[in-house]
């Protein structure tokens, strides 16, 4: 009689019952897989939150710079007017 080697994975796919060491090995593999999945999910959430925080900070910086534009423009116009007045005084 020939003995067949059957892996735990093939046995489970064939809907065979698992007990003893095979069941423990499968349970351990599932636990590791779930842990890896949860870790990857947490890392993804952290990266997405970090990206959102960085975008928010960039948006704030852009808004602050746009808020400064009227002040800078007014200062530029004032300097240009002063320069024009000086040019008009000098013959």
Please check whether residue 70 lies inside any domain of the structure: yes
Query: What does the alpha-carbon distance between residue 80 and residue 74 come to, in Å, rounded to a whole number?
Result: 10
Would residue 2 count as lying in a domain?
no
Distance CA 31, CA 37 (A): 10
Contact 17, 11 (CB under 8 A): no
Does residue 50 sit within a domain? yes
Q: pLDDT tens-digit profile of 53-70?
A: 999 999 999 999 889 989
The answer to whether residue 1 is domain-embedded is no
In a domain, 25, yes or no: yes
pLDDT digits (tens, 9 = 90+) for 5-52: 667 677 777 777 777 887 888 888 889 999 999 999 999 999 999 999
* pLDDT at position 86: 75
Domain containing 64 equals: 8-89
Count of structural domains within the chain: 1
Tokens 């999945």 locate to 37
At 55, list the tokens: 């975008």
Please check whether residue 3 lies inside any domain of the structure.
no
Q: Examine residue 59 and state whether it is found in any structural domain, yes or no.
A: yes
Residue 17's SS3 state is coil
């Amino acid at each position: 009689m020939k003995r067949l080697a059957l892996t735990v994975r093939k046995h489970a796919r064939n809907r065979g019952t698992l007990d003893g060491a095979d069941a423990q090995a499968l349970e351990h593999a599932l636990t590791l897989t779930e842990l890896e999945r949860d870790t990857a999910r947490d890392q993804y959430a952290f990266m997405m939150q970090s990206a959102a925080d960085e975008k928010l900070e960039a948006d704030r910086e852009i808004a602050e710079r746009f808020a400064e534009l009227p002040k800078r423009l007014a200062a530029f116009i004032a300097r240009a007017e002063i320069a024009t007045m000086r040019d008009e005084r000098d013959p």
